Amino acid sequence: MARIGLIAAHGKTEAESLAAEVIPWLEQRGCEVLNEDELRGGARPDVIVALGGDGLIMRVAHDLPDIPILGINVGRVGFLAMTERQHWQDALQEIIDGRYEVQEGPTLEATVFRNGQAIVDAWAINDVVIRSGMQLIDVEVYIDERYVNTYPGDGMIVATPQGSTAYCMAAGGPVLAAGVGGFAVTPICAHSPIRTTLVVPKSALIELVLASEREAHLILDGVPELELQEGDVVTVRDGAHRFRLAVLEGMNFYDAFRSKFNFMIRPDAVPTLGRRGRERP
């Protein structure tokens, strides 16, 4: 018997009315359905079904870490929430039948040292960012206790594979596919042409030092965590938690990448090796 957690985006009518359909549907099929309160109370389901967009998936993964999440997209763009609303019944049937894989991604643990004392310890699913206020800042980068460079600019991004399509790609960095054992370290608007992303192994100790007096913030997954001071050392490394997505058979990162981001360069191109990407002759 499957134990399914169910969380709908707060205050989103469409998500809430979908929840009202989903709950009896699951119960009729013999599932135990856990609501948000029960989940927060410590109940552990096999999978959490999130009715909302990518923002909801991120919130759930933060609050209830390590549990596989299936996102049903009730929103504008669903890159992580890969199941479109109208296919919810098929998708949930696959979950009930156990026909899914768990795609696991790393998280990042960030610790801020000020005058030798750890003053903040937090973790992120997508990225750990040092970002300047209105003025240019210098950030020193060290990998495994070796000095890499001092980057003047708008700051620095450390991204996981699942976070690489967000700020990292926006800043000119690469996309790391799921399963790549590494993190991307990408300078933001470095006032230098030397702004190549460095991809480091998952085992790396990444240290970022704010080497300017100017305003700068530590931002985790888009949420400001702390205003930094000159000399603060932010260490970033592979975190204890794992980001887990329940992936159904038809789901495909590359399809999503192409269609959700409008990345189909030639809309009329027909792939030679198969028409739908996942079925090849």
List the catalytic residues.
54
90 or 263, CB closer to a second copy? 263
| Structure tokens, 7 | 């969380």
1 or 134, CB closer to a second copy? 134
Torsions phi, psi for 195 (to 5 deg): -130, 20
43 or 120, CB closer to a second copy? 120
In the bound complex, what is the minimum distance in angstroms from residue 101's beta carbon to a second copy? 13
User: Residue 153 in contact with residue 218, Cβ under 8 Å?
Assistant: no
Within residues 185-224, the interface with a second copy by CB under 8 A covers: 188-204, 207, 209, 211, 217, 219, 222, 224
In the bound complex, what is the minimum distance in angstroms from residue 121's beta carbon to a second copy? 19
Q: How many CB atoms lie within 10 A of CB 89?
A: 11
To the question of whether residue 126 is assigned a binding role by annotation, the answer is yes
Establish if 147 lies at the interface with a second copy (CB under 8 A). yes
61 or 204, CB closer to a second copy? 204
Q: How far is CA 28 from the centre of its chain?
A: 33
Among the listed ranges 53-61, 64-72, 239-247, 254-262, the one in contact with a second copy (CB under 8 A) is 254-262
Among the listed ranges 57-65, 88-96, 117-125, 139-147, the one in contact with a second copy (CB under 8 A) is 139-147
Exposed, middle or buried by CB within 10 Å (0-12, 13-18, 19+), for 151? Answer: buried
User: Residue 160 in contact with residue 168, Cβ under 8 Å?
Assistant: no
Q: How many CA atoms, within 13 angstroms, populate the side-chain half-sphere of residue 150?
A: 7
d(CA 281, CA 268): 20
In the bound complex, what is the minimum distance in angstroms from residue 234's beta carbon to a second copy? 12
Tell the residue number behind the tokens 């609303």, with chain if given.
Answer: 85
Q: Tell me the site size for a second copy, rule CB under 8 A.
A: 83
Establish if 120 lies at the interface with a second copy (CB under 8 A). no
Q: Which of 248, 255, 101 is nearest to 179 (CA)?
A: 101
Establish if 74 lies at the interface with a second copy (CB under 8 A). no
Binding-site entries = 54-55, 59, 126-127, 154
